[in-house]
Amino acid sequence: MNLRIAMDSRANGFSLTFNPSQPPPANRPRKTIMTRMLKAQYTQRGLVPQDVISAVPFDRPVLAEGQALVAVLAAPINPSDVLTLTGQYGMLPPLPAVGGSEGVGRVVELAPGTQGPAVGQTVLLPAGSGTWSTHVVAPAARLIPLPNEADAKQLAMLTVNPPTASLLLSDFVTLQAGDWVIQNSANSGVGSYVVQLAKLRGLKTVSIVRRDSAVVGVQAQGGDVVLVDGDDLAERVKAATGGATIKLGIDAVGCKATMRLAACLGESGTVVNYGALSGEPCTVSPRELVFRDVSLKGFWLAKWFRTTPPAKAYALLTELAGLIATGKLSTPIQATYDVAQIKEAVAAAAAGERQGKILVVPAQG
């Protein structure tokens, strides 16, 4: 197969392209779609994300050569999606736009003469393709086949959070089985994948959450030590780990939470920031940076995809898809919403106190 990564004008900024090595059977039948089509569209951005987006109907599209019509099976609402609606994300698509940066669907039609995954095949949708919709028109060559029998809701979250977690664990510090890793926002989507992947790799985790009610959920995912954040975090981490040297801290919060993670690390440890849930800049004291040689680095998945050889990116997604398909990797789902309920779905995703991901799951039929 041939695979390439290309820039995409939408929020995630990258795309994966799959070209099958064999052409499809000739004269594939066209399939008439007799169902209501809705998309979650926004024409402006605002501080209350659910207020700027709404479900609007659209007509069944006529496909051009090279295109496929895909019925969306599931698409998550990620923090980056919410920030895109509020205008606070690092890359913003031109308006009007359809929400949703990742998801999976089932091919329902291929344009005449088009090569691509067969009708009926479950596929990974191109990143940033407006997945909060009942149907998506996409270049057939950019659709990556996935196991039809796997849980579509779990596969829908393949593109963003699992590779982020995997790369945070592998690309900044050399870790050996038995080493400890500490992270905050451990009850988030990325956090749950960090816990599970660390366990699969023989690593031990200290998982930090911001409320007592989140502790049990992270423990159920396999967290070795789960603590609520606070000013005395370093002392409690030292006691819980028996004074183990921790080389890697993973930060999604920013502000003083970054400094608390840094204080938990051993000398010359590394904190990697990939988010700012606090809305504030990362803070690290001179004591950590100067006297203990702790470093602070950043990670953005979209940049990684843009600068990584295609074969390496495809191998990572293939590995993670296999773990998801076999049930070895999953994340809690709190609720699912139809496209028609997009305002409620976005409000739920933007709210605190959640115990899992919010997914858009279009009603079938």
151 class by beta-carbon count within 10 Å (0-12 exposed, 13-18 middle, 19+ buried): middle
Closest by CA position to 85, among listed 102, 103, 101, 73 = 101
**Token output for 319:** 């590995």
Alpha helices in the chain (DSSP H): 79-86, 152-155, 161-170, 189-200, 215-221, 233-241, 256-264, 286, 301-307, 310-325, 342-350
Q: Which residues pair with 183 in a beta bridge?
A: 207, 250
Handedness of CA 170, 176, 177, 179 (dihedral sign): negative
Instruction: State the amino acid at position 210 in one-letter form.
Output: R
Q: How far is CA 278 from the centre of its chain?
A: 19
Of 42, 89, 274, 314, the active-site residue reads 89
Concerning whether 42 is annotated as a catalytic residue, the answer is no
Residue 103 near residue 39 (C-beta atoms within 8 A): no
DSSP of 303-332, one letter per residue?
A: HHHHHS-HHHHHHHHHHHHHHHHTTSS---
Residue 55 near residue 360 (C-beta atoms within 8 A): no
218-239 b/e (C-beta count within 10 Å ≥ 16 → b): beebebbbbbebeeebeebbee
Using the structure block, give the residue that is written with the tokens 């393709």. 129
Q: What is the spatial distance between Cα 271 and Cα 251, in angstroms, rounded to a whole number?
A: 7
CB atoms within 10 A of CB 16: 21
Residue 99 near residue 40 (C-beta atoms within 8 A): yes
Residue 190 near residue 315 (C-beta atoms within 8 A): no
Active site residues: 89
